[in-house]
Amino acid sequence: MVPMTEADPPTQPPPLVAHVIHRLDVGGMENGLVNLINHMPPQRYRHAILCMTGYTGFARRLQREDVSLHALDKREGKDPAVHLRLWRLLRRLRPAIVHTRNLATLEAQATAALAGVRRRVHGEHGWNVGDLDGSGEGPRRMRRLLRPLVGQYIALSRHQMDYLTGAIGVPADRLNHICNGVDTGRFHPPQDRVAARAALPPGFAPPGTPVLGAVMRLQAVKAPEVLLQAFLGLLGQAPPGGEPRLVMVGDGPLLRDLRARLEAAGAAHLAWLPGARDDIPEILRALDVLVLPSLAEGICNTILEAMATGLPVIATRVGGNPDLIRDGQTGLLVPPGDAEALMVALERCLGDPAAARALGAAARAHTEQALSLEAMVQGYLAVYDRLMAG
């Protein structure tokens, strides 16, 4: 055996960050986590993803082979035993940092503390359909109760920053604002708008036909039925280019009902609802307008991706949407749950395609200047480094 010298010190692996999430599946928060891990320098931190329930094929988007995935198989509703399994896993992994996300995993802060993990981060990414603004007494009580256990908070939107400061009482020195970033290389405007339509079903949208789109999980908090109502209201108004087409990409519990409503309205041939897809960049480049009718949002990755693609975005004035969209400059904001206001905004974009394209160009420029993945990664690194130093 060759003796170790002062010139050959033992190499220590980078610190391990254990990311605790409810489930690794298609979703904005999950997409942001994958982007963070894929773009964080591997020599700085290692990563493990601990799913309270499980994970799907979405995990294939992880580009680093050293990321470990763990499913804790939590039962529906209360399942105290899952915290014992989490405690055992944390004792085995011995992470330097535990990073929980959203209310669904906040209780894991206590489990991590009991497992001896001293550095703990919690991120607030969005709201639940049963508590659209965090005002529910139960969630607020839970956040206040566990506040002493959280070393650093990360809020994606200014709305959540204000909530954590005012309603929860988080001190300023434990609060960080980090906006999601977008890969402007992967999401970019089409070179040929006609050729980009190849991402849609053959014959679905003839050249010149306006195509409205949405990419979201089809569940109540996203309010896809509001978009559907606004779309049906547009039919028969003969905007430039003829009757518009609707693309709604995403899976979820409302998919079947939305398809049935289109059939009942005799408009199924004007809409494409394919469920979940892996070719989102190509589909976005085939659209003319991106719509997000959500009742609540954190910082929406779909808005970022659409803006980077050069699309005008019509979104509701909730959560972090106003952080991303400058109303009338890089997109349009409408009240939540208001199909009439949404239809008016759509008419504005369809009635003046040149102005809509100008909104999209300004949105692309804004993402390049202020919403890069590099800025997001540096923000998270700063939080992790500060915890390690302290």
What is the rounded distance in angstroms from the CA atom of residue 57 to the CA atom of residue 49?
14
Q: Which residues contact 90 (CB under 8 A, 6 or more apart)?
A: 18, 50, 98, 111, 112, 115, 116, 117
Q: Cβ neighbours of residue 58 under 8 Å, at least 6 residues apart?
A: 24, 25, 26, 30, 34
- pLDDT value, residue 390: 82
Q: Are strands 175-177 and 211-215 parallel, antiparallel or unpaired?
A: unpaired
Q: Do domains 16-181+372-389 and 193-370 have the same CATH topology?
A: yes
What does the pLDDT profile of the chain (390 residues) look like in tens digits?
445 555 555 678 999 999 999 999 988 889 899 999 999 999 999 999 999 999 999 999 999 999 999 999 999 988 999 999 999 999 999 999 999 999 999 999 999 999 999 999 999 987 776 676 777 899 999 999 999 999 999 999 888 999 999 999 999 999 999 999 999 999 999 999 889 999 999 999 998 899 999 999 999 999 999 999 999 999 977 666 678 999 999 999 999 999 999 999 999 999 999 999 989 999 999 999 999 999 988 889 999 999 999 999 999 999 889 999 999 999 999 999 999 999 999 999 999 999 999 999 999 999 999 898 998 999 999 999 999 998
Report whether 187 contacts 281 (CB < 8 A): yes
Backbone torsions φ then ψ of 280, nearest 5 degrees? -60, -45
Cα–Cα distance, 233 to 264 (Å, whole number): 14
- The model's pLDDT over 226-261, given as tens digits with 9 standing for 90+, comes to 999 999 999 977 666 678 999 999 999 999 999 999
Distance of CA 169 to the CA centre of its chain: 25
Give me the CATH topology for the region 193-370: Rossmann fold (3.40.50)
Domains of the chain by residue range: 16-181+372-389, 193-370
The Cα 95–Cα 119 span in angstroms is 9
**Interatomic CA distance for residues 149 and 114, integer angstroms:** 11
Multiple choice CATH, 16-181+372-389, 3.40.50.2000, 3.40.50.300, 3.60.20.30, 1.20.1740.10: 3.40.50.2000
User: Is 0.85 surpassed by the pTM of this model?
Assistant: no
